[in-house]
Structure formats: C-alpha cells, structure tokens
Amino acid sequence: MKPWKGKRGRIAAGASVSLHAAVYLALAAGGFFTLFQQYTRQAGVTEVMVYNAEDLAGAGGRDAAGSDEDQGGAADLDSSAGVSGTLTNGEAASPGLDEVGTAADGLTYEVISQASREKAASTGSGTVSRPPALAGKPQSASQSGRDSGGTVRAAGPGKNEAAAPAGTLQVPDAVADILDALRKKFPIKLSEAKIVPPTPAIPPSQSNTTVITAENMEAHQDTTVQQALQRVTGVTVNEMVPGISSYVKLNGDDRVLILVDGQSLANAQGSGYGRGSVDLASLPGIGAIDHIEVTKGSGSVRYGSGAVGGVINIVTKKGDRRESSLDAYTGSWGMHGYTLTDSGRAGATSWLVSGSLEQREYYAFPHGANTDHSRGDIAKKSLSLRLDQDLTDQTSLTVKAYHQDYHGHGSTYKADPAGWYLTANKPIDRLVNDYSVTYHFKKQTAQPGFLRYFNDYQRTYWSNHYFTRTQGLEWQDNWQLGSHQHVTAGAEWTEDMGTNYEAHYIDKKRHNQAFYAEDALTFGKFTVTPGLRWDNSSTYGVHQTPRLAMNYKANKDFNVYTSWGRVFSPPRLNDQFYITSTSHGNENLQPEEGYTQTLGFQYQAGPKTSLEGSIFHSNLENVIRWNRTSSYSEAENLNEEDKRGFELTWKQKVNDKWDYEAGYSYIHTKVDQGKGDGLVYDMSYNQPNGYHAGVHYHSGKWQAGADMTAGTGRNDTYYRNNSYVVWNVSASYSPDAATTMYVKVNNLNDEAYDLYHNYPTAGRNWQVGVKKKF
C-alpha cells in the first residue's frame, strides 16, 4: 500500500471518530442542560402545580397537537409568542424585517419587523402574549426545576395525579439538592425569572452564525463591510492596501463565499493573493445594507461546495417607508465622503437608492520611510438600486443593480528593521457592474421560492488588465411536508468568462450545472438536516458533495449543533491560465477536495448574558498555492492542508446604558507540501490567537464605544511583529431624531503591524461627520 493511501485511511478514520465524538458530546451536553433546567423532585413537593387541561400528553413530552412546546408562560419566550426583549448592542437573534427568510445554515427563520417590536414595546417592556386557553389561569413557580411562570402538563389525558409534568425529569431529593446548589452558582436562577426582564430565545441554529444588524453598524459609525466584520470573533482579513484590497478569513481560511441577498459574488479569476474570491473593497456601501449574516464552517448545500471557511450573506434594505438621508464626513489624509440614500413606496412599488462618493489623498502608518510619495489614494463612486414590485399577494419582482467606479494607487513595500520602505506606486482602476432580476413566489407562506437571473461584471487594472463576467440562472423552492419535515431543493446554471491580456488568455469560459436538495427533519428537540449537491462542471465533470447537520435545542436557553460537509473547490481561471515571464499557471491542476466539521453551542445564561462557543476542523487534499519561493512563481497542488481551532464569545448587558463583550479564537494550520516532511506548521496565518473586546454606552441622545482587536502567536520572521493590539473608539450625539453627529478614531494607539506579509496597515486616523434624515 502506498504511504499516501495509508495516510488517507487514517484521516478518514480520524474524521469518523471526530464526527462520532461530536455527536456524543452534543447528546451529553444537551442531556445535562435538559436535566439541569427541567428536573423535578420525586418527593417533597411543596407547591401546588397548576396543569394545562388542554395538554393531554404524558411525561414523554408530546402535547395533544403533536408539538414539543410549552404553550406560553410569562417567562417562556417560545418563538410563537410576541416578545418585547432587549438585545445586546444591536445584535439580533434574527434580522429585522417582517418576513420569513433562510439563514446560511439552511434553516428557515422568522424575522420580526421594527414595527412589530415597536408595537410590542408600546404594551410594556417584557410582556408576552398568552394563548386564549391560558388567559386568566394561575401559574406556579416550582422551586424544583420549572421556569417561573411556565405552565406544566399532566401525566395523562384528563388526569390530576402529581406525576412529572411533560417535558420535566424526576430526580431523587439527594440529586435535586446537588442540582439546586449548582443552580445557585449561575448568574440568573430560573426561579428568579419572574422579577427580571424576559430572556431572548436562542434560535434553533445548526451553525456558528453571527448577525450584524444595521443598528450595530450605525452605532459603530461603520463606513465599510470590512469594519463591521472585523468585530466578529474569529474573523480576520488579508489586507494589502487599506481601503483598496482585502479578503476576509473565517475559521482561518480565505475560501469564503460572499453573497448579496443569497446570490454569490465570486470572481471566477480569483484574487491576486490567497484563495479568496471577493475583494471586500468591491462590496456595496453600508447605507444599502440591512444586516450581515456571518456563518463559519460548512454552510447549506445551496451555496456550493467550495466555502471551506464559511459563508457571508449581505442582506440589502427594502424601501418600505418614505425616507431620505445624507451622511457626510471628513477626516485624516484628505479623506472625505458623502452617502445619499432615498427610499419609499408608492402603491405596489417600493424602491431604495443609495449613492456614495469617497476620496482619500494617501494613507500613513508608523515607521514609514520614503513618505514623500502618494500611496493608497482613493477616488471611488458607487450606486446601489433596489426596486420591488408586488404582482399579486403571492408573487413579486425584485430588480437590483450595483455600480462602482474606482481610481487610485496601490503600493509595494520593502520591510526593514527600521521601518517599511515604499518601493513602487501602481495605478489601480476598478469598474463593477452587477444586476439581477428575481421573481418571488409563495411569498405569503413560510416557504418562499424564487427564480433569478444575474449578471456580474468586473474590470480591473492592477499591473494587468483583468475582465471577468459571471452570469447564471437560479431556482429554489421549499415544501413543508407535515409538521416535522421541511424540504428545500434548487437548481443552478452558471457561466464564467475571464480575460487577461498581459497573462495571455482571452475569453476563457467554463460552465456549471447544479442541483441540490436538503431535508430538515424534526424529532422533538432534535433537528437533523441531510443535504446533497450534484454539480456538473465543463472542466471537471460530475461530482457530489453531501452535508449533514443537526442540532438539539434542549430548551429556549440552550442549543447545541454539529455539522459535517464535503468540499470540492476547482481552480480559479488565473490558477490555470495566467502565463507571464515570471509567473505560470497550470492547466493540469486538480480541484481541492476534503471536508469540514463543526461542533458548537449557544447558551443564554440570563436575560442579560449569552455565551457561544465552537470547535472546528477542516482537511483538504490537492491544496492549490502559488509557489513564490523564487523569482519564478508557479501554481501547484500541495498534498494536504489541515486546520483546527475553536472560539468563545461572551456578551453581557450590564444595565440599560452599558454592555460589553469579549471573544477569543485559536487557529492551528499544518500543510504537507509534498517534500517528504509531512504536515508542518504553516507560519503564514496572521492571527493564530485572536482577541476581541468591546464596551459600549448608550443613553438618551448619546452613544459611545471602544473596541479592541488583537493577535498573538504570529511568526515574526514572516510578519513584522509577533503580536499586535488595536483600539478603535467612536462617539455620537443626536440632538433630535433626524440628526446624528459623530466622531471616530481608528487605531487609536497607532499600532504598527501587517495583516498581509510586508504590507503595513493604516496608522491612527480620525473621522468626523453628520447624518441627517429628511
């Protein structure tokens, strides 16, 4: 047997063991939290329990309707109840439109509109509507494991014996004493729930997903998607020239799929460095964005099979109300910008238009030399348009267009112990023209579908002239088959075309047809979602990529999930066809193949406290990298790449004015370059240990915040330093509801560091501006 075959066998065995261990750990953790939060003493009951007469199920946990949910106590925030709750610092368990959508992990979620929240707030903070069947009925708070205000269920149809309520567990007095002692150690005891605000319910997620809301971005005075993403635990970027070119990394990997309203923006030619496919500098401005969903690890099969690091879905705003706004700012380095947005509705037609201008003369950084040259100047114009037309109660049409025109200069540097030396300024021109037409059907149901045509074009000049166009058709539909099964299926056709005159390839094309399906099956508190994607590539033929995800939602406070998915990522056009006197692509490159797996949990420790964590592992064969160890660069397949890591995020709301958060991530990468050394540590990752912390203040007309990002464990022979710490601060004042004045300072401590090898990031810079609504 060949050594590699033996290694593959060990890898497969290790993957199987890891997946089984993840499932067992999930079951154990879910079982513990179920016991911890729902136990009942077997003897010594001191409080009368009031049973819901409509619940005819036994202690097995199934009610008469076949569901597994309590029907609404004052502290039981089931997703079917109307809730007015406070979320930490603009973060939301689900986005802010009054509709039903689909998260990147493939689960359907219900979205609560701002109007719904305002209506709930008007009735009193923390109130929960109760079903008519329970109105006026007294509620009991058992000291032995029931949430305060929650209803309990009888042991059998119409019976009144004092058996365990459905959904609870009986334990002996001795065990209950131990559990009672443990419960006292937690910040919020469930028996105190009736005197504290209601706890936001944890969504039944099957992935590590963070939602960045428009309110959160506005509170931090973000002007780019990159600024918003870098506050998420475990997220970092490869950045060459600040504001000009950068690529995001999730779980330590830049193979990240970036979507706008569910449509991929992947550039078929790839990036100038790394394995990224979407330059963050080419994305729409903040003014057009409603929220951003960041999903780390394996996403739904509907999004393709190449997203090793994860999926970022940017959801744009819909113009449902008449409003105009202007955001104008000025700042360091001759920086100034303007964003004008207008939205409204007339009958069945709604619109949102957002245009922006941005200019910067140069950028500076600590320890710079040869600084009399212009570097990193920006002159950018962009326009976003969204039109929505209601056709019937069940159907609608959405037309979207995005245009960006950019001119400026990138720079190259030579690192020296004394500082960075500017060696060259290279002109950069970028033109982006994207548009799509989407027909929505089954709009008024919880399972919407769509048919879409899209056409994305990008022209870039940066040393070479790059032209790329991707167009395609997408169809997706959903079916609810009974109360416990949800099926999603779809089909795609895409065509990629690329040209690079200086690299000697013109109008290289490839096509791909795909079909996918996934089936979400619910068994009580378990949801299991198997999925399969079938692709037929004009270059690499037919391949299948399965995915399996599951979660166990022990109660409204605790959810544990795990997922496993196969990876198939073909080479980019530049990898195959780029040929110059110093660089050579390889038409015989093999696709990258492997798997990713994730295990994580979400725990709402109280109405003001949440904790999330996850561990992950990805393993790829035939990894594509450009060998730049000599003056002649060549694309090649490496034997293997293995990434492992974990992350934790803690969020705490202190009171109505203060909140804070803290996060840590760890990434360890090994690569087998096929030189006989096996897997060796990869020193090129820019944040092996990542840290994030933030403290925020909001009171009346004032908002302020300070956020820290840091990285340690870096190789200081590859990067300038082995660690860095960066502080960003902002403050705003709103004299009235239509006006906000703000100031922000990035890199307050003027840290000198690089996120991409020998390319310095921006030093301390300030920005002051005003936002006005009309």
* CB within 8 Å of 526: residues ≥ 6 apart: 550, 551, 552
Mean pLDDT, range 458-482, rounded to an integer: 92
Cα-Cα-Cα-Cα dihedral sign, residues 446, 451, 453, 458: positive
Q: Give percent above pLDDT 90 in the chain.
A: 51
Helix, strand or coil, per DSSP, at residue 89? helix
Query: Residue 291 to residues 62, 111, 215, 393, 656: CA-CA distances in angstroms?
Result: 36, 12, 9, 26, 23
CA distances from 57 to 4, 42, 127, 146 (A): 56, 19, 28, 18
Tokens of 579: 């040929």
The neighbour count for residue 20, using CB atoms within 10 Å, is 10
Note the pLDDT tens digit of each residue in 618-636.
Answer: 999 999 888 877 667 888 8
Task: Pull the structure tokens for residue 117.
Answer: 């929240």
pLDDT of residue 446: 75
Tell me the pairing of strands 245-249 and 236-241: antiparallel
- Both tokens of 22, joined, read 């993840």
pLDDT in tens, 719-758: 888 999 999 999 999 999 999 999 999 999 999 999 988 8
The model's confidence at residue 77, banded by pLDDT at 50, 70 and 90, is very low
pLDDT number for residue 134: 36
Residue 33 has pLDDT above 60, yes or no: no
Q: Name the DSSP letter for residue 715.
A: -
Q: What is the pLDDT of residue 331?
A: 96
Predicted confidence (pLDDT) at residue 96 exceeds the cutoff of 80: no
Distance, in Å, from the CA atom of 255 to the CA atom of 233, rounded to the nearest integer, reads 18
Task: Give the residue among 406, 410, 101, 127 at the shortest CA–CA distance from 283.
Answer: 406
- pLDDT bin (cut points 50, 70, 90) of residue 78 is very low
CA 241 – CA 506 distance, rounded (Å): 28
Q: Which has more pLDDT, 299 or 275?
A: 275
* Cβ atoms within 10 Å of 174's Cβ, excluding its own: 7
Determine which of 24-38, 361-375, 491-505 has the lowest per-residue pLDDT on average.
Answer: 24-38
Examine the pLDDT at 5 and tell me if it is beyond 60. Answer: no
The pLDDT value given to residue 156 = 37
Predicted pLDDT of residue 185: 54
Return the amino acid letter for 429. Answer: D
| Integer Cα distance of 513 and 533 in angstroms | 11
Lowest mean pLDDT among 66-70, 546-550, 745-749: 66-70
**Res 428 pLDDT > 80:** yes
Per DSSP bridges, beta strands 289-296 and 310-316 are: antiparallel
Q: What does DSSP assign to residue 541? A: E
The DSSP code for 573 is H
What average pLDDT does the chain have?
79
pLDDT band at 194 (very low <50, low <70, confident <90, very high): very low
Whether pLDDT at 196 is above 80: no
Q: What is the pLDDT of residues 429-464, one digit of tens each?
A: 999 999 999 999 998 877 789 999 999 999 999 888
Q: Look at residues 584, 692, 604, 593 and name the one whose alpha carbon lies nearest to residue 638.
A: 593
Most confident of 56-65, 417-426, 541-550: 541-550
3-state secondary structure of 301: helix
